[in-house]
Amino acid sequence: MRVKVLGSAAGGGFPQWNCGCSNCIRLRAGKLHGNPRTQAQIAFSVDSKAWFLLNASPDLRTQILATTELAPPQGPRRSPITGVFLTSADVDSAMGLLHLREFTPFRIFATPAVQQILREENTMFRVLDRATPPVQWLGFSTQPQGRSPVAVDSLGNASFGFSAVPLGGTYPDYVNDALRGKLSAEEAVVGLLVEHGEKRLFFAPSLSGKNLEWRKLAESSDLVFLDGTFWSDDELIQATGSGKTARAIGHLPLSGADGLLQQFSGAGRGRRVLIHINNTNPILDEESPEYRQVREMGWEIAQDGMEFVL
């Protein structure tokens, strides 16, 4: 399995258009030892021909253009992009679907609740129905027995398995209260496990910390991408003078008692990569003590363009 990091930042990217935090200011001025980043996006393939996306970021068009593997072959309009797995209905996870609206069929895998939000409450996504055949929406369960095989092509070649685990997060702000009340909390935010042969990839860019089921899956995986959004719980408030805590918006901070570093340190057999890193996070500065600390603890920090082979 090949896994490519097309984008590694949280919503807004790095730098963020309206942000005057220390990281964004220093990056714009060329004074930060670190790299700009587009919004979090992963692509993987088990045969190097058909590629699947984990989420569809607001930067997806630019990310596809920067990735030679995702370029279409010569001839009629088509794409190596065969399917998209969504972890939530967040703008950061789903907006990029609108970049894929040019009449090419592919598959979208999402929980029934995420599908309802995107397809019925946000009718703009119906633009995807114009493809011939229309883009195919497929549901998946968050139950432990919900593991499904995915055939990469219509002949069933090169299949892989995937399953989803609820992460205890909430539905996005834009979902109205009446609908929110009707939807199952388990289907709001999920982590995804992809299995091919003996190899396992786990992806959870939003960890609320309210559900710990993900840890077993992450520990048994060869490569895990986990929530690196915030270093500290009050980081947004410190950087912007307002806003909510990390935990209040569904992200376990990295540092502190019960932070992700403490919860998942030295655990598991695989490579541990932090992704979905907010522009305020000090780990983006490679000269910071926080950067040194996570690296010394064995974590990798996702950057656009990284590739892993499992």
32 binds Zn ion (CB under 5 A): no
Compute the least distance from the CB of residue 279 to Zn ion, in Å: 4
CA distance 148 to 174: 30
Binding mask 170-209 for Zn ion (x = CB under 5 A): ----------------------------------------
Compute the least distance from the CB of residue 37 to Zn ion, in Å: 11
Mention every residue, 6+ apart, whose C-beta is less than 8 A from residue 173.
none
Select from 31-39, 77-85, 279-287, 292-300 the region that touches Zn ion (CB under 5 A). 279-287
Q: Which is nearer to Zn ion, 169 or 282 (CB)?
A: 282
Binding residue for Zn ion, selected from 10, 21, 81, 204, defined by CB under 5 A: 21
Q: DSSP readout, the chain?
A: -EEEEEE-B-TT-BS-TT--SHHHHHHHTT-SSS--BPBPEEEEESSSSSEEEES--TTHHHHHHT-GGGSPPSSSS--SEEEEE-S-S-HHHHGGGGGG-SS---EEEE-HHHHHIIIII-GGGGGGGGSSSPPEEEE---STT--EEE-SSTT--S-EEEEEEE------TTS-HHHHHHS-GGGSSEEEEEEETTEEEEEES---SS--THHHHHHT-SEEEEE-S-SSTTHHHHHHS-S--TGGGT---SSSTT-HHHHTSS-SSSEEEEESB-TT-GGGSTTSHHHHHHHHTTEEE--TT-EEE-
279 binds Zn ion (CB under 5 A): yes
Q: Which is nearer to Zn ion, 6 or 27 (CB)?
A: 27
Compute the least distance from the CB of residue 243 to Zn ion, in Å: 12
Select from 23-31, 92-100, 167-175, 228-236 the region that touches Zn ion (CB under 5 A). 23-31
Q: Which is nearer to Zn ion, 19 or 113 (CB)?
A: 19
Q: Which is nearer to Zn ion, 201 or 284 (CB)?
A: 284
Compute the least distance from the CB of residue 239 to Zn ion, in Å: 7
Q: Which is nearer to Zn ion, 16 or 45 (CB)?
A: 16
24 binds Zn ion (CB under 5 A): yes
Q: 60: which strand partners? A: none
Q: Which is nearer to Zn ion, 9 or 53 (CB)?
A: 9
281 binds Zn ion (CB under 5 A): no
Q: Which is nearer to Zn ion, 24 or 108 (CB)?
A: 24
10 binds Zn ion (CB under 5 A): no
Compute the least distance from the CB of residue 209 to Zn ion, in Å: 23
Select from 127-135, 181-189, 213-221, 273-281 the region that touches Zn ion (CB under 5 A). 273-281
CA distance 165 to 216: 10
Binding site for Zn ion (CB under 5 A): 19, 21, 24, 279
